[in-house]
Amino acid sequence: MNKRIIKTVAAALAASGLSATALPQQQASGLAFTYTAGIQVQNLSNAQATIVITFYNPDGTQAGTTNDTIPANGSKTYFPLSAVSAGFDGSAIISADQQVAAIVNVLGNNGVAGAAYSGSPVGSPTVDLPLLMKNNFGFNTWFKVQNAGNTATNITVNYSDGTSASATNVQPGASAIFDQSLEAHNAAVFAATVTSNNNQPLVAAVIEESSSVMFAYSGFASGSTNPVMPLVNANNFGYITGIQIKNGGSSASSVTVTYTRSSAPFDSCTETRTIQAGQSETFALYAFSVAGTTSSNCPFGQTFVGSARVTANSANVPLTVIVNQLNNSQGTGEAYGGFDPAQATSKVVMPLIMDRNFGYFTGFNVMNIGTAATNVTCTFTNSSRTVTASLNPGQALTDVQLNQLGNGYVGSATCTGGAGSKLAGVVNELNNDPPPSDKFLVYEAISTN
């Protein structure tokens, strides 16, 4: 079987083969919620896929398996996770005989808050986590690290504030949890590098949470010198964006982010900050909202909806990026990871698309991050609907599926550009329930050939 790894945590599932870390139910630690996870798996091939989802306890023993088939180019939802008992706290690996992609949705307190992240086909002995928090305006983080290898490993976490943590003898398939609210830290916002002592591939998923809002993202196996962020909001009906960029190199670098509006007049502005080696800095959050900010020439107080990309990186260091979107008035928020243009392809897949599914619907932004114009066509499983656009470099196609695919629709989507094009995308999952209810989830579209 072709094995792929998927990342999720605690709400999470990690991936290797497709690996997933399922959520802890315990409340004795500093965690804010009781968590429930669901997995959406998309078959990317023209043939039926046979899959096995294997669930692992923290000690590495198997807790259960799900055996299933997914039709050619189809997708399936695994929620609830019927192969494991209530209170399961562990991880999972998805194995398939065809190419597949997956995302994980994490719900807190039966849907009071939610978060999502995409699976990844590879693990790495070193994983970067650009954004972690302790007591940061009511937000804390916790994360799980899964051993996606074949041999037990010791895991070390080095935080950018000078502190560290570790877990020993983590068995293949198993995961270890690190809760920043219970650790001693010297800063409210910091980053981390996670390593295996014997080069076993690791995957990680992070949960950012307050008492009512939840974000999630997957750890990074590598960085990019010029990452791209397809969706940035500022002063937009209460939505703001914070972009956390981590310097994964050995020297400081002056980094410039260029923000480009997605509608006329398509104007741009910039923000420049110096990021020390191993540290992270916050972009976007103050660029549009603090008058007289010397690091930015962006218009103070104006509504901005568009994209961003790193356009200067003086030391050419590898960068990893997390984008947080937050609406304080509505109590909703979510995160997604920045994209490496070198890893982008002409096709992206979105394993979970919805239209009026128990109140949830989706919308996506697919951005042309290449250097030439391209035509993009998006199709949906079990639907004749298509969406097309001609995109210049830096432009994005936006599509909202509400009232477009049928009441109760649950499926997937694929967007394809011209030969040699490079696409990146993010998917928003939203439920219009009134606050206080954080039913806003975001995940990254997955590049494929």
Percentage of the residues of the chain whose pLDDT score is greater than 90: 69
Instruction: Check whether 166 has a pLDDT greater than 70.
Output: yes
d(CA 25, CA 94): 22
In the β-sheet with 253-261, what is the strand arrangement from edge to edge? 228-234, 304-313, 253-261, 268-275
CATH number of 344-448: 2.60.290.11
Q: What is the rounded CA–CA span in Å between residue 278 and residue 130? A: 10
Residues 79-118 pLDDT 10s: 989 999 988 988 888 989 999 999 999 988 888 889 998 7
Q: What is the pLDDT of residue 12?
A: 37
The hierarchical CATH code for the domain 228-337 is: 2.60.290
Maximal C-alpha separation, the chain: 58
CA–CA dist 186, 27 (Å, integer): 25
Domain with CATH 2.60.290.11 in the chain: 2-118, 344-448
pLDDT band of residue 330 (cuts 50, 70, 90) is confident
DSSP lists the bridge partners of residue 368 as 423
Least confident range from 11-15, 68-72, 343-347: namely: 11-15
Q: What is the pLDDT of residues 210-223, one digit of tens each?
A: 988 999 999 999 99
Taking Cα atoms as reference points, which of 233, 244, 239 lies closest to residue 298? Answer: 233
Angle, vertex CA 312, rays to CA 287 and CA 307, nearest 5 = 50
| Among 319, 322, 158, CA closest to 246 | 319
Place of tokens 């935080």: 159
What is the domain class of 126-218 according to CATH? mainly beta
Least confident of 258-267, 394-403, 429-438: 429-438
The tens digit of pLDDT for each residue in 175-216 reads 999 999 999 999 999 999 999 999 999 999 999 999 889 999
pLDDT at position 6 is 43
Predicted local distance difference test score (pLDDT) of residue 25: 33
**Quick one: pLDDT at residue 292?**
59
Length of the chain: 449
Judge residue 146's burial from the number of C-beta atoms within 10 Å of its C-beta, 0-12 exposed, 13-18 middle, 19 or more buried: buried
The CATH number of 2-118, from 3.40.50.720, 2.60.290.11, 3.40.50.2000, 2.30.42.10, is: 2.60.290.11
